Amino acid sequence: MPDLQIVAVPVLQDNYAWLVFDPETEDAAVVDPGEAAPVLAAAAARGWTVSQAWITHWHPDHTGGIAGMKAAGATVTGPLAEAARITGLDITVREGDVLRLGAHAGAVIETPGHTAGHVCFHFAEAAALFTGDTLFAMGCGRLLEGTPAQMFDSLARFAGMPGGTRVYAGHEYTLANARYAAVAEPDNAAITGRLGAVEAARAAGNPTLPTSLGEERATNPFVRAADPRAFAELRAGKDAFK
């Protein structure tokens, strides 16, 4: 089975929508289209037709392109727990459900914390994890609707996945996250080294995603937190960090 092809599409200020293409069926999906036009342009430039849109949570910067994607023929799938807050869903999913693109199957994982009904999508055979605003490179989402314990548990859902799993997150927040990580763990040489690499990448205008679960285990203080209390202290520190 050919690997999925995954392309970052920058939208809005610092969001990424992710185009996912199955070469065997020549079918494509998009994860979290904050805008439709850039997604459709990126797909057209590659000769791809986007038949599905997959939504991780209700925030407008992840859902703003739904109407445009539907007008272009896409079926929209999103979390059942947030269906009342997402206009335009055709299919709702919950823990244990499966997304399909050609022969590729992605597990729906409920990850409350950033929002109450947030979901992530894990394509195990393709080693791809779409994390929305749950897990970022060297960071995690703010707790806008959930508790520290919920987000700690949500991040722990990824613990058993292989380190080579690629993480496709919803925002280019890595530089700010790396600067905080260096303060949170000043003696972590892996964080220090990664901060330098991230600074160079952003100075050159290059994206820092995807990351990998292995990188996050080594350099993400929130993933490395020992328990919900330690996680809560880190999250409060990041919220106040300038």
pLDDT at 233: 98
Active-site pick, 22, 27, 32, 57: 57
Cβ contact 163:213 at 8 Å: yes
Catalytic residue check, 14:
no
On the question of a cis peptide bond just before residue 162, with omega within 30 degrees of 0, the verdict is no
Sort 228 into a burial class: Cβ within 10 Å, 0-12 / 13-18 / 19+: middle
**Separation CA 47–CA 15 (nearest Å):** 23
Give SS3 for 73: coil
Whole-model pTM? Answer: 0.97
Neighbouring CB atoms inside 10 A of 19's CB total 21
Catalytic residue check, 122:
no
Catalytic residue check, 104:
no
Weakly modelled stretches of the chain, pLDDT under 70: 1
Structure tokens, 152:
């700690």
Catalytic residue check, 59:
yes
**Separation CA 171–CA 151 (nearest Å):** 17
Active-site pick, 104, 114, 118, 122: 114
Give all domains of the chain, ordered by start, each with its CATH number. Answer: 5-171 (3.60.15.10)
Tell me the β-bridge partners of 5. Answer: 21
Catalytic residue check, 90:
no
Active-site pick, 104, 118, 122, 171: 171
pLDDT at 1: 64
